[in-house]
Structure 1
C-alpha cells in the first residue's frame, strides 16, 4: 500500500510517499481503509523534529475517515466490515477523565498514522461517521474537534447565554470552538489579525470579532459592552494579560496553546481578586469524542474545509499550512 513515510527529519520535503507493508487486524485493532485524512500543525512540527517521542521511520497523520476493512479475530462489537467510520487520535488516555495517563499518545508518529491507504487502530478508537458528513469533513473533525469540545464544554463549562471570547479565529480548533459555542447558545466573540478570518468566524456563528493587532483592541471590546464569561485561548504571549482583564469576576480562562510564547507582565491580583479559574486542556478522551459527535450530529455542524490535495502532494499541503493559508482544514484525499 502507499503511505507518507517520514524516515528523516528536515521539514515537509522529508515526508515521502512510498510503498509500505499493509497493517493487519490484531491485538484488538481494526483496519480502516482511509478515504480522506486531514493535516494538523502536529504533522508539520514532527517533520522538523519539534515534537516529543518521535520514532523513525513512521507514517504521519492523526486525522482520518474511511471504511472498515478488517476486524480483529473474534470481534463481536457494533462495527462491521464496510462501515463508514472516523478515528479518534487519542491513544491510551486512561481511566481518569481529568488527565491523560502516562501512556497517552497521539496517532501518527510513533504509531503509524492516517496518511496511508490503510491504518490499524484500537477498535475503541473507531466511531461511526455521522451521515451528514462527507469523508473529507469527517477527516477534518477528530483532533481539532475533540480539542475544541474539551476546551469549550468539559473545561470551559460554557452555558447557554454566556459570552465567550475565542482567540485566533482561522485556526482549526478555534473554528470548531466557534461552531460548538454557538450551537450551545453562547454569545461568541473572536479575535484575529486577518479580516478574512473575522469574516469567516461570523459565518461559523460568531456574533462579532476584532483585530487584535490594533493597540486598543481590548478597550474597544469593553466599549462595546462585552462582559466575557469564558476565554478560549491558544495564543498566550503579550496579549494574555488583556484576556485576564477582560474576564468578568468568576470567569474561566481555558488554554490549549501558546503560539505567541511566554506571557510577560501578568499581574496576579487580576487573577485572584476576580476569583478567576485558569484551566489547561489538551486533546480529549473517548467519551468527549462521542459527546462531540452527538453535538455535531444534532446540530448538523459541517467543518469548514480549506484546500484539498491528493496524497502524493502532501509536502505541498504542508507548505501551504506552514504559510498560514487558507483558513479551514487542509485535506488529503485518497
Structure 2
C-alpha cells in the first residue's frame, strides 16, 4: 500500500546547509499521465545539488563552489540561480540521481512496468516537448530523488537488469551521463585524453568510460587519490596543483574533459594538440577563466559546452551496465536524514567516487 505522506529532504530556499529540512509529512506525489511513481532505493549526491542550493548558477557569483558550499553566498540573483536560468519554486526536493522500483503508473503507462527496478534520466526532455538543447534537471526544475517516492516520465525511466546494488545504480544518472555526454560530444576514441577532477564522481566516471573507448587516460587529481584513479583505468596521473604543461608538455593531448574550470583552463588549452577538442561540464574551481584566444584559433581547437544530452547517452549507459563494462566506486552511504553531513563530506573532497543517500524504507 502506498502511504499518503513520506520522508523527504526539502530545500526551503537558496542558502547554506540550514536550508535543508528533513521532514516526515511531505505528501507522496501522484503520477500524472505518462508518469511513473518510483519508490526510491537510493539517490546519489552531486555537485549540482550544492550549486543549486547555494544559488551558484547566478551570474552574480564568480567564486568556486566551495566558497559558499556550507554557508551560501551573500548575494545572488534568484532569477537566474538555476540550471534553466529561471527562478526555482520552493520548497523543492532535490536529487538528480534516482534508483528505485516502480510502484504505480499514470494514465497511458502499461501496468507491466510496476515492479521494475529503474534509473531515471536526470536531464529530462519530456517536460519541454523534446525541443533541442532544452531540458529540466531532476531535482531542480522538478522534484527529485531525495525522498521515499518520486515521479518521473515513463519514457525517460529505464529498467536495468544487473546484479548491482541500488546504491551503485544511484551513482549513474547524473555523474555517468555527464561523463558519457562529454565523451560522446568530443567523439573520444583511441587517443590521449586528459580528465580534470579525476577522483570525483563525474571525473572517475569519465576515466572509466574513456578507458572503455580505448583511450589513453591522464587523470588530474591529488596525489593521495592517484592509486584509486589508476585502478579505475587512468594510465597516468598528474598532481592537480602541479604545472600541467611542465609535467606533460605543450600540445601532447588530443582531448581535455574538464570539470574544474577556473585559472587552470588556459593551461589546459596549451596541452591540446592542433585540432584538439575541449569539453567542459563544470567549474568547481571557479566560473571565470582567462584564456589566450590564439590557442583556440591558431590550433583549430573545438570547444564543447556539455549540458543537454541526446537520447543515446543514457541508453548507452544502460547497455554498458547490462554488459558489465564498468562498475562505479561508492565511497560512502548515508541515511537521508544525514543529507547535510553528506554534503559537508562532499565539499571536503576527501572521498573518491560517489556519495549516496538512502531514504527510510516504508
TM-score, scaled relative to structure 2:
0.84
Task: Tell me if 1:37 matches 2:43.
Answer: yes
| Pick aligned residue for 2:146 from 102, 112, 115 | 115
**SS where residue 20 of structure 1 aligns?**
strand
The residue correspondences of 1:35-184 to structure 2 (distance < 5 A) are: 35-50=41-56, 51-52=81-82, 53-76=87-110, 80-92=113-125, 95=130, 99-101=132-134, 104-153=135-184, 155-159=185-189, 161-184=190-213
The residue correspondences of 1:202-221 to structure 2 (distance < 5 A) are: 202-214=230-242, 216-221=243-248
Task: Tell me if 1:232 matches 2:265.
Answer: no
Q: Is the 8 A contact 1:88 1:286 kept in 2?
A: no
Q: Please, what is the CA RMSD of the aligned residues?
A: 1.9
Task: List alignment gaps of at least 5 residues for structure 1.
Answer: none
1:190 Cα deviation after fit: 1.3
Q: Is the 8 A contact 1:66 1:84 kept in 2?
A: yes
In structure 2, how many angstroms separate the alpha carbons of the residues matched to 1:61 and 1:171? 17
In structure 2, how many angstroms separate the alpha carbons of the residues matched to 1:33 and 1:211? 41
**SS where residue 355 of structure 2 aligns?**
strand
1:14-58 Cα shifts (integer Å, max 9, x gaps) = 211112111112221100000111111121223323332321111
1:10 Cα deviation after fit: 3.0
Q: Structure 1 pair 109/269, CA: closer, same or farther in 2 (3 Å)?
A: closer
Q: Is the 8 A contact 1:62 1:107 kept in 2?
A: yes
Aligned length: 322
Task: Tell me if 1:195 matches 2:223.
Answer: yes
1:184-212 Cα shifts (integer Å, max 9, x gaps) = 111001112x1122222101100011113
In structure 2, how many angstroms separate the alpha carbons of the residues matched to 1:240 and 1:306? 28
The residue correspondences of 1:178-327 to structure 2 (distance < 5 A) are: 178-192=207-221, 194-214=222-242, 216-222=243-249, 227-261=252-286, 262-264=288-290, 266-327=291-352
TM-score, scaled relative to structure 1:
0.90
Q: Structure 1 pair 242/38, CA: closer, same or farther in 2 (3 Å)?
A: same
1:95 Cα deviation after fit: 4.0
Q: Is the 8 A contact 1:164 1:231 kept in 2?
A: yes
Q: Which runs of 4+ in 1 moved over 6 A?
A: none
Task: List alignment gaps of at least 5 residues for structure 2.
Answer: 1-5, 57-80
Q: Is the 8 A contact 1:30 1:122 kept in 2?
A: yes
1:135 Cα deviation after fit: 0.5
Stretch of structure 1 that moved more, 118-127 or 274-283:
274-283
1:315 Cα deviation after fit: 1.3
1:130 Cα deviation after fit: 3.7
Stretch of structure 1 that moved more, 197-206 or 176-185:
197-206
1:311 Cα deviation after fit: 1.1
In structure 1, how many angstroms separate the alpha carbons of the residues matched to 2:337 and 2:199? 26
In structure 1, how many angstroms separate the alpha carbons of the residues matched to 2:92 and 2:48? 14
Q: Is the 8 A contact 2:258 2:282 kept in 1?
A: yes
Q: Structure 1 pair 184/132, CA: closer, same or farther in 2 (3 Å)?
A: farther
